[in-house]
Amino acid sequence: MARFVAVTPSQQNNQLSFSPLASSLSDFSGTKLHCSHIHFKRKQWQTKSASFYVSASSNKKILIMGGTRFIGVFLSRLLVKEGHQVTLFTRGKAPVTQQLPGESDSDYADFSSKILHLKGDRQDFEFVKSSLSAQGFDVVYDINGREAVEVEPILDALPNMEQFIYCSSAGVYLKSDLLPHAEVDAVDPKSRHKGKLETESLLQSRGVNWTSIRPVYIYGPLNYNPVEEWFFHRLKAGRPIPIPSSGLQITQLGHVKDLARAFVQVLGNDKASKAIFNISGEKYVTFDGLARACAKAGGFPEPELIHYNPKDYDFGKKKAFPFRDQHFFASTEKSKSVLGFENEFDLVEGLTDSYNLDFGRGTYRKEADFSTDDIILGKTLVSV
Amino acid sequence: MSMATLSSSSASLLFSASSSNLFPLSHSSTSRLSFSSSLHSSTASLFSASSPTFLACPSSSSRLSATSNNDGGPVFSISASAAEKKKVLIVNTNSGGHAVIGFYFAKELLGSGHSVTILTVGEESSDKMKKPPFNRFSEIVSAGGSTVWGNPADVGSIVGGEVFDVVLDNNGKDLETVRPVIDWAKSSGAKQFLFISSAGIYKLTDEPPHVEGDTVKADAGHVGVEKYLEESFSNWASFRPQYMIGSGNNKDCEEWFFDRIVRDRPVPIPGSGLQLTNISHVRDLSSMLTLAVEKPEAARNSIFNCVSNRAVTLNGMAKLCAQAAGRPVNIVHYDPKAVGVDAKKAFPFRNTHFYAEPRAAQTKLGWSSTTNLPEDLKERFEEYVKIGRDKKTIQFELDDKILEALKVPVPV
């Protein structure tokens, strides 16, 4: 099977400043990459005895809508390891499986021999309904659904479904001056993520046993959303990091492996029945702080941060910064108290894991594009 | 960014009852209630309302009482059974933002059937006693509590050799002041020592919120006390508060905003106004302390951030105060250095993120916050007007200096 390769063919063999320890991604419940120059501070409550081990529920027939890109890649491995029969429903555009960086050959061989594929387009609702009905799955994880109409045929096809587990988004919360967002808070029917809200409503109305997970910003190796990658590009290029406004805006990142574990934790879990959970990092982070954390993760020196007023610029369609220019974070207290969810990774540890398994090996999803940076830097030499 | 007027949509920030909302919401005047999310089928009759914080905390005590909390509906909290009444001594400061804590705590303990003595620093006849909460101490007495005055260093003789189960020091900011109280409590056989510390001792961080266990400033006076307690007392707990609102407060909090809003004056906020802080109703602090008294094993040797479960931005606080007052707000931002004012004097809150979360209390004590700023501020504003403070003549020297530097006009 092909290794997961860099998007760009033209890359240099730069000196990468990390210690290349192997990490087995097939069992990442306790595995992280450690860098000697990073000190991991353990807080006392984190040493509580293991949280979440899901009792080996009987072998289930599980369908994942998607599963070949990011969350599903890790989730599917955990589920297969637990002994479930896992099928990925994808169009087949990307390879059904790819060996992950750090994954041993034997683990990968085991996984790829067990994972099943159902090829189809989920927008073809008739096909979804008939193919799912024919196979009869116990549990469906919908990792890539955006609109309620996409979920209807799945519910129609599987009237005896044990559980429908949905990847929603904290983006549904109505912007507020009172934070963090909690699951009980008001949601925004006009948000960009209203399809997720409509899906949650559909699930509630249909009487299926559902669980909805609302992540904030997800990060980790193979991230296709240039979150940490955006910082790593600049750090690697030795460029200053342009941050809108004060840099005090607070956001929150959650490691994809922790998210995958949460998805497994709710499987067959009565406490998760018809419930919503925010899942993200234990702590939040300021924009400035995130730049510094990325630098630490990659072994870069402390970065130069440039603050600018976004209103002074017109970047056209381009995004000058990968995060919403506002506070955006959610409380995970419910997942902790109800599910016993615990993050394995703190921010610097998690970013280090991402760096060492992805960007630091020369792989990334989007080419560096410093055009908006140059606009900002060209103008702010005078002000701020 | 300044807001010339209130956006009416901000009224639905928390209490969204629109049909587009996910689940039917109901709300009371004291808390943000919503649908119950997770259901325990096995213990449905008792725990049918979702209360994640409660579910996490097993308890061996008996009596159940219902309150409402901010995490989703009614919650059943457990308080001490009738047999476990405590004798509590509160050593209380005679001024400042923390003074009100002792007042609420005393009343709550008395309401739960415990016995309370409150020792206030200084003299009963002092002018300081004419201010709230001290001018309401008759409420403690009529509820069955004792009020005494004196120097905490002489606590033993002031209480006349009486022995207490629990001692709370809500006064000292350094070991020199608190040590005599700790030593006396230990030698007189008190079983539990509680200390009001401060969330101000946390070191600034890139990763908010401040949680218990995070690094603190080693040279902070409160830290010295916490360390000494850890070394010398068998069952201690330290509570780190931030800002408080509540009737009987000795120090202005929301009043600072009301003063400007009712006089149609701009509200000058340093920096971007995005700084997050935690403003709790003092009843949250009192309920946390009471829970610690009633669950001494759960509270043993712990640090608790004594705050509500939500942060608010400085801009948000201004907006909520204006909303409570039913008036528009004109927020003006400034750079203290550029204008030449000391932000500490010009503005009542820290000019950085100052944001702790009450995670230990939620996990260890099964405590829930009931602070509801939008509702609580309405009540605060009613009192503000009732005492006639909206009509009072106030000088706004520092405001004027700031506004002049920014060339912002002020109504005469």
- Predicted local distance difference test score (pLDDT) of residue A39: 42
Sign of CA dihedral A226, A231, A235, A237: positive
CB A364 within 8 A of CB A279: no
- Predicted local distance difference test score (pLDDT) of residue B123: 97
Q: Is the pLDDT of residue B345 over 60?
A: yes
Q: Which residues of chain A lie closer than 8 angstroms to B272, CB-CB? A: 245-246, 248
User: Which amino acid is residue A23, in one-letter code?
Assistant: S
| Percent of chain A clearing pLDDT 70 (strictly above) | 84
- Predicted local distance difference test score (pLDDT) of residue A231: 98
Q: Which of residues 172-231 of A touch B (CB under 8 A)?
A: 174, 176-180, 182-187, 189, 197, 200-201, 204
The CA distances from residue A33 to A44, A47, A232, in Å, are: 21, 18, 17
Rounded Cα gap, residues B140 and B145, in angstroms: 5
Torsion angle of the four alpha carbons A237, A242, A247, A249, in this order, in degrees rounded to the nearest 10: -90
Cα nearest neighbour of B19 on chain A: A189
Q: Is the pLDDT of residue A89 over 60?
A: yes
DSSP structure string for B359-385: HHIIIII-------HHHHHHHHHHHHH
Rounded Cα gap, residues B316 and A178, in angstroms: 7
B138 three-class SS:
helix
Average pLDDT of A360-374?
96
- Contact with chain B for residue A309, Cβ under 8 A: no
CB A299 within 8 A of CB A37: yes
Side by side, the strands of the sheet bearing B115-121 are B146-150, B115-121, B87-92, B166-170, B192-196, B236-241, B302-306
Q: Which residue shows structure tokens 């006849």?
A: B125
Q: Is the pLDDT of residue A3 over 50?
A: no
Q: Is the pLDDT of residue A91 over 80?
A: yes
Q: Is the pLDDT of residue B356 over 50?
A: yes
CB B241 within 8 A of CB B306: yes
- Count Cα neighbours of A311 within 13 Å in the Cβ-side half-sphere: 3
Burial of A65 (0-12, 13-18, 19+ CB in 10 A): buried
Interface contact flag, B34 A286, Cβ < 8 Å: no
Q: Please provide residue B185's backbone torsions phi and psi, each rounded to the nearest 5 degrees.
A: -60, -45
- Contact with chain B for residue A22, Cβ under 8 A: no
- Contact with chain B for residue A51, Cβ under 8 A: no
Interface contact flag, B272 A327, Cβ < 8 Å: no
Q: The pTM is what?
A: 0.83
Which residues partner with B150 through β-bridges?
Answer: B121
The whole-angstrom distance between A93's CA and the closest CA on chain B is: 35
- Contact with chain B for residue A105, Cβ under 8 A: no
The whole-angstrom distance between A273's CA and the closest CA on chain B is: 6
Q: C-alpha B130: how far from its chain's center?
A: 22
Interface contact flag, B56 A174, Cβ < 8 Å: no
Disruptive mutation site among B1, B7, B13, B37 for chain A (greatest number of A CBs within 10 Å): B37
Cross-chain CB nearest to B21 (options A180, A186, A327): A186
What the block records as the tokens of B17 is 């009852």
- Listed residue (B355, B209, B370) closest to B282, CA to CA: B370
Q: Is the pLDDT of residue A15 over 50?
A: no
Specify the length of chain B in residues.
412
Tens-digit pLDDT profile for residues B84-129: 899 999 999 999 999 999 999 999 999 999 999 999 999 999 999 9
Q: Is the pLDDT of residue B17 over 60?
A: no
CB A275 within 8 A of CB A352: no
Average pLDDT of A135-154?
97
What the block records as the tokens of A143 is 């990792």
Q: Which range is least confidently modeled, B66-75, B102-111, B270-279?
A: B66-75
Q: What is the mean pLDDT of chain B?
A: 86
Q: What is the mean pLDDT of chain A?
A: 88
Cross-chain CB nearest to A177 (options B12, B208, B313): B313
Q: Report residue B411's pLDDT band, with 50, 70 and 90 as the boundaries.
A: confident
Q: Report residue B78's pLDDT band, with 50, 70 and 90 as the boundaries.
A: low
Q: Report residue A18's pLDDT band, with 50, 70 and 90 as the boundaries.
A: very low
- Contact with chain B for residue A59, Cβ under 8 A: no
Tens-digit pLDDT profile for residues A59-79: 999 999 999 999 999 999 999
CB A85 within 8 A of CB A116: yes
- What is the DSSP code (8-state) at residue A302? P
Q: If residue A382 lies in a helix (H) or strand (E), which one and from where to where? A: none
Q: C-alpha A202: how far from its chain's center?
A: 24
Cross-chain CB nearest to B37 (options A183, A246, A336): A183
Cross-chain CB nearest to A178 (options B40, B312, B363): B312
Torsion angle of the four alpha carbons B217, B219, B220, B223, in this order, in degrees rounded to the nearest 10: 80
Interface contact flag, A337 B209, Cβ < 8 Å: no
Tens-digit pLDDT profile for residues A155-172: 999 999 999 999 999 999
Rounded Cα gap, residues B185 and B234, in angstroms: 11
CB B225 within 8 A of CB B178: yes
Disruptive mutation site among B3, B20, B38 for chain A (greatest number of A CBs within 10 Å): B38
The whole-angstrom distance between A64's CA and the closest CA on chain B is: 24
User: Which amino acid is residue A134, in one-letter code?
Assistant: A
Tens-digit pLDDT profile for residues A308-344: 999 999 999 999 999 999 999 999 999 999 999 999 9
Q: From the CB of residue A49, how many other CB atoms can be counted at a distance below 10 Å?
A: 5
Q: If residue B227 lies in a helix (H) or strand (E), which one and from where to where? A: helix B221-232
Disruptive mutation site among B207, B303, B363 for chain A (greatest number of A CBs within 10 Å): B207
Q: Is the pLDDT of residue A374 over 80?
A: yes
CB A287 within 8 A of CB A323: yes
- Predicted local distance difference test score (pLDDT) of residue B410: 78
Cα nearest neighbour of B358 on chain A: A333
Q: Report residue A28's pLDDT band, with 50, 70 and 90 as the boundaries.
A: low
Cross-chain CB nearest to B34 (options A184, A275, A336): A184
Q: Is the pLDDT of residue B323 over 90?
A: yes
Q: Which residues does A333 contact at the CB level (< 8 Å), separation at least 6?
A: A182, B52, B53, B71, B309, B359, B362
Tens-digit pLDDT profile for residues A181-217: 999 999 999 999 999 999 999 999 998 999 999 999 9
Q: Report residue B161's pLDDT band, with 50, 70 and 90 as the boundaries.
A: confident
Average pLDDT of A19-24?
39
Q: Which residues of chain A lie closer than 8 angstroms to B69, CB-CB? A: none
Q: Report residue A53's pLDDT band, with 50, 70 and 90 as the boundaries.
A: very low
Q: Is the pLDDT of residue B50 over 60?
A: no
Rounded Cα gap, residues B330 and B312, in angstroms: 18
What the block records as the tokens of B87 is 């004798």
**What is the topology classification, in CATH, of domain B3-17+34-405?**
Rossmann fold (3.40.50)
Q: Which residues of chain A lie closer than 8 angstroms to B12, CB-CB? A: 174, 186
Cross-chain CB nearest to B320 (options A177, A204, A293): A177
Q: Which residues of chain A lie closer than 8 angstroms to B209, CB-CB? A: 283-284
- Listed residue (A32, A30, A77, A60) closest to A260, CA to CA: A77
Cross-chain CB nearest to B71 (options A179, A182, A274): A182
Interface contact flag, B207 A289, Cβ < 8 Å: yes
Disruptive mutation site among A194, A203, A211, A250 for chain B (greatest number of B CBs within 10 Å): A250
What the block records as the tokens of B213 is 């266990």
Tens-digit pLDDT profile for residues B171-210: 999 999 999 999 999 999 999 999 999 999 999 999 999 9
User: Which amino acid is residue A298, in one-letter code?
Assistant: G
CB A340 within 8 A of CB B40: no
- Predicted local distance difference test score (pLDDT) of residue B75: 53
Cα nearest neighbour of B207 on chain A: A285
Q: Which residue shows structure tokens 């809108």?
A: A244
Average pLDDT of B329-343?
95
Disruptive mutation site among B1, B216, B276 for chain A (greatest number of A CBs within 10 Å): B276
The whole-angstrom distance between A118's CA and the closest CA on chain B is: 32
Q: Report residue A379's pLDDT band, with 50, 70 and 90 as the boundaries.
A: low
CB burial string A209-236: b at 16+ within 10 A, e below: bbbbbbbbbbbbbbbeebbbbbbbbbbb
Q: Which residues of chain A lie closer than 8 angstroms to B24, CB-CB? A: none
Q: Report residue B71's pLDDT band, with 50, 70 and 90 as the boundaries.
A: low
Tens-digit pLDDT profile for residues A220-246: 999 999 999 999 999 999 999 999 999
Q: Which residues of chain B lie closer than 8 angstroms to A271, CB-CB? A: 38, 40
- Predicted local distance difference test score (pLDDT) of residue A380: 59
- Predicted local distance difference test score (pLDDT) of residue B52: 39
